[in-house]
Amino acid sequence: MMKIAVVGSINVDMTVTAERIPKKGETLRGDSLHYIPGGKGANQAVAMAKLGAEVEMFGLVGDDAMGVKMIDNLKAQGVKCDHIGTVKGESTGTAVITVGESDNTIIVVAGANGKVDKNYIDGVKDALLAQDMVVLQHEIPLETVAYIVNLMSEHGVPVVLNPAPAANVPAEIVEKVTYLTPNEHEAVLIFGEGASTEELLRKYPEKLIITQGSRGVSTCLADGTILTVPARKVEVVDTTGAGDTLNGAFAVRRAAGDDMEKALIYANAAASLSIGKFGAQGGMPTAEEVEEVLNK
Ligand code: RIB
């Protein structure tokens, strides 16, 4: 089986559900409060493990009770955690999330995720280079992301970079990653407003994948065709983690040898299933569940 690594964030999500998301300066009554596993890195690792991949998570937690719980959760989901470190005197990454009216807002406090630096990467280098694919996001320091991309590209290890939360990606890094998966908003930050989505996709065939929320996901195939896989119509419970599910599922299917179209159809179906349940990781489907939807 192909080995996939995630180097990224491990968060506890402090998720409040309310009738709607509050406006600036407004106080609302919430319906519920949950402390649940999250973090774009950990979410993508769990999405892949649930789909049956061999996954290892690399990153750091704080020396608090939540750090232990988040690692226990990853292990329980079948993610290897041998190289996750604990930072003394630091708290585990935390996301404050509001879920209401089929949408959400998220504020992330990096905590220990902010300490994932070159030293940490040097310490796990051999384990990383033994992977068949490495999946990254923007919830660890961006210079660390660039350092990993350079290292992997020197050694020919394919990299998926999900540039979320939005931040610029230097042109050199865009060139070196195998796949770049921004949403439309993140794409504008990286490439500017000058080019249309289609123009951008054509510039990076089978590399750039732009997610468009309820409209689906698009890429440009090697023959120049623009492929858009429309989102499936589902009842939305919680969209948190849908992008992570899409990224994880895409990485798993590409690593397994699917072509772009097949991998994106699969990833799109997986993401649609994830939003039917509460929590970033709560609705992530198994391979059987995705197959069932695809066969319908
Ligand atoms: O992508 C969803 C994730 O973003 C949440 O789990 C939260 O931790 C934030 O990092």
For the chain, 296 residues long, give each residue's pLDDT as a single digit of tens.
Answer: 899 999 999 999 999 999 999 999 999 999 999 999 999 999 999 999 999 999 999 999 999 999 999 999 999 999 999 999 999 999 999 999 999 998 899 999 999 999 999 999 999 999 999 999 999 999 999 999 999 999 999 999 999 999 999 999 999 999 999 999 999 999 999 999 999 999 999 999 999 999 998 889 999 999 999 999 999 999 999 999 999 999 999 999 999 999 999 999 999 999 999 999 999 999 999 999 999 999 98
User: Which two three-digit tokens encode residue 102?
Assistant: 């089929």
pTM over 0.85: yes
Say how many Å lie between the CA of residue 212 and the centre of ligand 1. 18
Cα–Cα distance, 134 to 157 (Å, whole number): 7
Q: Is 216 annotated as a binding residue?
A: yes
**Residue whose CA lies nearest to ligand 1 atom number 6:** 38
- Cβ–Cβ < 8 Å for 9, 114: no
Does any ligand 1 atom lie closer than 6 A to the CB of residue 238? no
User: What phi, psi does 80 have (nearest 5°)?
Assistant: -75, 135
CB burial readout 156-167, b (16+ within 10 A) else e: ebbbbbbbbeee
Does any ligand 1 atom lie closer than 6 A to the CB of residue 239? no
Q: Which residues pair with 134 in a beta bridge?
A: 5, 159
Structural domains in the chain? 3-21+31-294 (3.40.1190.20)
Helix, strand, coil percentages, rounded to 5, for the chain: 40, 25, 35
Cα 53 from chain centre: 15
